[in-house]
Amino acid sequence: MAISSERYSTSAILLHWLIAVLLIGNIGLAWYFNTLHGPAAAAPVALHRSIGITVLLLSLARLALRLAVRPPPLPAGLAAWERWASKAVHVLFYVVMIGLPLTGWAMVSVGPHLVQTPMTLFNLIPWPAIAPLTTVPAAQVHPTHELFEAAHGLMGKLAYVLIVLHVLAALKHQLIDRDTVVGRMAPFLAR
């Protein structure tokens, strides 16, 4: 796990880009399956769930790595607001990367249907329901599902905002400031 004082570790870089591709791809997949009806939506929805759980597991690994290995310091010339914004966006990204799959998993776990028809990751690995949610009283299944669905939707919207902010900040640092910020996570763009 190579790390320098200026760049993230190789593991952190790989996890960053893998999670980014999976998260953006899963957003696109959700847009797609929301245009479908009936049985045509089943396979894309199953894939969406599998990718979501994968994002959750990879994000937990990334968080553990971040707690174990300090990230490289931000360049000294950054304004205080830029440092604050960077930290806020990173924290909110972890909220999304963990909260979005958790709310989706909770949404499909409500009621007994997932116990009767278990979820499998990529049609290979059985994945359990969140046990306490499978025993929600019948009268509460719909409102509980709606609550998790609303939270999942809000997390999705937060993801859109964060992705746009993150990309705009990277472009600003690379094209306007011409500093080393982007090269910390994208060594192929390092200066």
For residue 131, give the CATH number of its domain: 1.20.950
Q: Specify if 48 maps to a domain.
A: yes
Q: Specify if 1 maps to a domain.
A: no
Q: Specify if 5 maps to a domain.
A: no
Q: Specify if 2 maps to a domain.
A: no
**Which pLDDT score, from 0 to 100, does residue 78 have?**
87
Alpha helix ranges (H) inside the chain: 10-33, 42-68, 80-109, 113-116, 131-134, 138-171
User: How many distinct structural domains can be found in the chain?
Assistant: 1
State the Cα–Cα distance between residues 163 and 178, nearest whole angstrom. 21
**Which pLDDT score, from 0 to 100, does residue 120 have?**
92
Q: Specify if 65 maps to a domain.
A: yes
Give tens-digit pLDDT for 45-90. 999 999 999 999 999 999 999 999 988 888 888 899 999 999 999 9
Q: Specify if 165 maps to a domain.
A: yes
State the Cα–Cα distance between residues 101 and 151, nearest whole angstrom. 11
CB-CB contact of 158 with 89 (8 Å): no
- Which residues constitute the domain of residue 32? 10-189
**Which pLDDT score, from 0 to 100, does residue 100 have?**
97
Give backbone dihedrals phi and psi of 125, rounded to 5 degrees, phi first.
-110, 115
**Which pLDDT score, from 0 to 100, does residue 2 have?**
38
In the predicted model, residues of the chain with pLDDT beneath 70 are 1-5, 112-117, 187, 189-191
Q: Specify if 3 maps to a domain.
A: no
Whole-model pTM over 0.75: yes
